[in-house]
A and B are shown apart, each in its own frame.
Chain A
Amino acid sequence: MTHSIAIYLFIMAGVTFAIRVLPLTLIRKQIKNRFLQSFLYYVPYVTLAVMTFPAIVQATQNPWAGLLALIVGVITAWFGAGLFQVSLACCIIVLIVEYFFV
């Protein structure tokens, strides 16, 4: 079965908007349940980490370039580089590695 891109986009936009706007409009008090609070606290880190690795290694033509990009990204972010700088560092290391090995 094929699906409509328009409906896919409509669902993505609607769900994304609902998630962002519902607490902002409905919740006027702090969440009291400690488990739920903690669970929501960890979710972003787990989701982004799971989506980053091993996908970054599979994204490049040469897997070693992706692995090096991961290492360079972790190191530059660790030492305080911003979003733009970390992204740029990852791109440049892939360019360099694949220039020699692809």
Chain B
Amino acid sequence: MNEHKKAHRTSENILQALKNGIRAGIPIGLGYFAVSFSLGIAARNAGLTPFQSFLASMLCNASAGEYAGFTTIAANATYLEIAIITIVANLRYLLMSCAMSQRLRPGFPLLHRLLMGFYLTDELFGIAISRPGFLDPYYTYGAVLVAGPAWGIGTALGNIAGNLLPDRLVSALSVALYGMFLAIIIPPSRKNKIIAGVVSISFAASLAASCLPYISALSQGTRTIILTLLISAGAAFLFPIPQSTDEEESK
């Protein structure tokens, strides 16, 4: 019954969801703009034009994934290597996508599935999943209307203005992206000691890998792949997460 009602929504209902989404998208868009600016600088370092950077951001919508891709391009890596590093840097979306699939109403249309997947970023996933019940695609689309362009335009401007800005400012903006990564990994570390341990070990192993002979000779992308596979597998082996029960699923 409920599904029947949801399938036949009024246009006012959709408009309201869009409006709510746009409102939620404004702070996300502001954050994206600042962060994508430093991504544009990384794109410029990899030899991309402002338009190519814009295109990359509008098509990928991925901070860590794009950053990993740009550094791989800068290293003139093979196409296979960029495919692998893109998979590794974006692997978390595989899990989010799995989680999101549990929150769609039965019979959710394929077109909406594709669009929701295309815009599955950390922040858009976060605001979508934080609302109770089945996901409302129009809420996400409202947020995308603000956050999507902010991400693409910010990347292009970062690419252009990276040339014009003084070194001191470029240096400062370069850490914005790392700040964002910290904002994603540190709050869960505070709540969960195992995650805190995994993050600490990752920091230490990454530092060691950048200094030690042989492994430091590998590209940064390859080092990221190796360390991610080893540390995640080790953590999964030693500290498997509690299995989710069927009762939790059907809440």
Interface residues, chain A, CB within 8 Å of chain B?
A: 1-3, 5, 7-9, 11-13, 15-17, 19-25, 27-28, 30-31, 34-56, 59-61, 65-66, 69-70, 73-74, 77-78, 80-92, 94-95, 98-99, 102
Contacts and interface: CB of A to CB of B under 8 A. Distances in A.
Nearest to A7: B79
Given A25-B114, A38-B235, 6 more contacts: A9-B55, A16-B62, A34-B243, A42-B195, A42-B231, A45-B188
Contact of A87 (B117, B179, B186, B188): B179
A90 B179 contact: yes
A24 B68 contact: no
A43 B91 contact: yes
Interface of B: 27, 30-31, 34-35, 47-48, 52, 55-56, 59-62, 64-69, 72-73, 76-79, 82-83, 86-98, 100-102, 104, 110, 113-114, 116-118, 120, 123, 167-169, 171-190, 195, 198-199, 202-203, 205-207, 210, 220, 223-224, 227-228, 231-233, 235-237, 239-241, 243-244, 249
A65 B237 CA distance: 37
Closest 7 CB pairs of A and B: A44-B92, A21-B117, A77-B186, A90-B179, A49-B202, A38-B236, A87-B179
B243 A37 contact: yes
B95 A40 contact: yes
Given A46-B202, A51-B224, A19 B94 contact: yes
Contacts of B65: 12, 16
Contacts of A22: 94, 97
Contacts of B101: 23-24, 27-28
A19 B184 contact: no
Given A42-B231, A86-B180, A60 B174 contact: yes
B42 to A, nearest CB: 9
Interface of B is mostly: helix
7 contacts: A24-B116, A34-B240, A46-B231, A48-B64, A90-B175, A90-B178, A95-B169
B94 A40 contact: yes
Contacts of B190: 78
Contact of B171 (A40, A48, A70, A94): A94
Nearest to B27: A84
Contact of B97 (A20, A66, A78): A20
B185 A16 contact: no
Residue from B64, B73, B169, B179 whose CB has the most chain A CB atoms within 10 Å: B179
A61 B67 contact: no
A50 B207 CA distance: 8
Contacts of A77: 182-183, 185-187
Contacts of B228: 43, 46-47, 50
A9 B72 CA distance: 11
